[in-house]
Amino acid sequence: MKIGIIGLGLIGGSLGLELRDHGHTILGVSRKESTCQQAIERGIVDESNISLQLLSNADIVFICTPIGLIIPILEQLIYHLKPETIVTDVGSVKMPIVEQGSRLWDKFIGGHPMAGSAEQGIDAAQKNLFKDSPYVITPTQNNLSKDVETLKTIVNELGAKIYTCTSENHDYATAWISHLPVMISASLINACLAEEENLTFKLAQALASSGFRDTSRVGGGNPELGIMMAQYNQKALLRSLSEYRKQLDQIINLVENKDWKRLGYLLEKTKQGRIDFL
C-alpha cells in the first residue's frame, strides 16, 4: 500500500521505519526540508516532500503532528486526496478530533498509539516503538467497516495491541490513567518548589530518591502535551480531578484524626488494587 505520513517526529518516523519494512511505500511530509532529507537518509520514507501534494496517490494517511495541528492540516489535506483515501491521526485526545475530522472527511478514523519515549523528533524514531503497546482506534458509525479493517491490518503489522472503542470512552479512560497523573504529579513538584525558602529545601533535594523521582516524572514532562490534555479533554479531566481531590481529602482526614486503623485499611486496598489494576 501507499502510506502517507504527515509529521516525521518520534511517532511518524517510527511508523515509517516499521511499515516500510513490511513492504509498504512510505510517503513522508514534513514542514522542514531538512527533516525530509533526514527521513530519506535514515530509510524512514521512500519519498519525502514539504508539500501535501505528495499524498495525492496515498491509500491511507497518518497525521502525526502535534494535536493542535491535526484539524488545520486535514483542512488543507483534503484538497489533495483521492476520495477513497483513509485518513487517521495519532492524537492523545479523540473526541474533538474525531468530531471535526469526520465532518471534513468521511473516511477519517481516529487513532491513538499509546507508545512514547522521553526523546522527541525524527532522531528518536525507532523500530518496535509500538510493539505490545495499546493502539486505540475510535471509528464512528459512519465509517465503513472495510476501512476500519484496513487500518487495523496496518496497526497489526506494528505488533501493537488493538483496542476499539468510541472516542468518548477513550477520552474518559485516558483522563484517569494518563491525564490525571500529569496534574497530580505536577502539583507535587510545585508543592516542593513552594518550599524553596525553607532551610530544609536543600536537604530534601539531596534526599529525594526513587519515590519522588517516579511520582514526579510525568508532571515534569512536555508542557505542551499537558496543556493539550487539559484543553481537549477538559470535562473528563475535571471529573477525575474532583474524584481525586475527594480521595486526597479522605487521607488528610484520617491523618488529622490519627485514624491509623482506617489508614491501614486504605493502604492495604491501594496495594492490592494496584496489583489487580496493572
In the region spanning residues 126 to 185, those forming contacts with its own copies, defined by CB under 8 A, are 133-134, 136, 161, 163, 165, 169-170, 172-174, 176-178, 180-185
Total number of residues shown for the chain:
278
Q: Compute the least distance from the CB of residue 76 to its own copies, in Å.
A: 24
Using the contact rule CB under 8 A, the part of the chain among 1-9, 12-20, 121-129, 191-199 near its own copies is: 191-199
Q: Which is nearer to its own copies, 78 or 241 (CB)?
A: 241
Site for its own copies in 60-89 (CB under 8 A): none
Contact 80, 33 (CB under 8 A): no
Using the contact rule CB under 8 A, the part of the chain among 14-22, 71-79, 151-159, 269-277 near its own copies is: 269-277
Q: Compute the least distance from the CB of residue 139 to its own copies, in Å.
A: 15
CA dist., res. 90 & res. 88, Å (int) = 7
Is position 90 an interface residue for its own copies (rule: CB under 8 A)?
A: no
Query: Applying CB under 8 A, which of residues 114, 124, 144, 148 lies at the interface with its own copies?
Result: 114
Helix (H) or strand (E) holding 269: helix 260-277
Site for its own copies in 192-231 (CB under 8 A): 192-195, 198-200, 203-209, 211-224, 226-227, 230-231
Mode of pairing for the β-strands spanning 161-164 and 2-6? unpaired
Q: Which is nearer to its own copies, 40 or 230 (CB)?
A: 230
CA dist., res. 75 & res. 71, Å (int) = 6
Q: Compute the least distance from the CB of residue 163 to its own copies, in Å.
A: 6
Least Cα distance to 28 among 83, 76, 65 occurs for 65
DSSP 56-89: TT-SEEEE-S-HHHHHHHHHHHTTTS-TT-EEEE
Q: Which is nearer to its own copies, 124 or 186 (CB)?
A: 186
Q: Compute the least distance from the CB of residue 222 to its own copies, in Å.
A: 8
C-alpha cell at 62: 497518518
Using the contact rule CB under 8 A, the part of the chain among 1-9, 21-29, 48-56, 259-267 near its own copies is: 259-267
Query: Applying CB under 8 A, which of residues 23, 83, 145, 191 lies at the interface with its own copies?
Result: 191
Q: Compute the least distance from the CB of residue 264 to its own copies, in Å.
A: 5
CA dist., res. 7 & res. 64, Å (int) = 5
Least Cα distance to 131 among 252, 273, 17 occurs for 17
Q: Which is nearer to its own copies, 146 or 276 (CB)?
A: 276
Residue 219 is given by DSSP the state G
Q: Compute the least distance from the CB of residue 96 to its own copies, in Å.
A: 13
Contact 266, 251 (CB under 8 A): yes
Q: What is the dihedral of CA 178, 4, 105, 80, to 10 degrees?
A: 140
Q: Which is nearer to its own copies, 76 or 247 (CB)?
A: 247
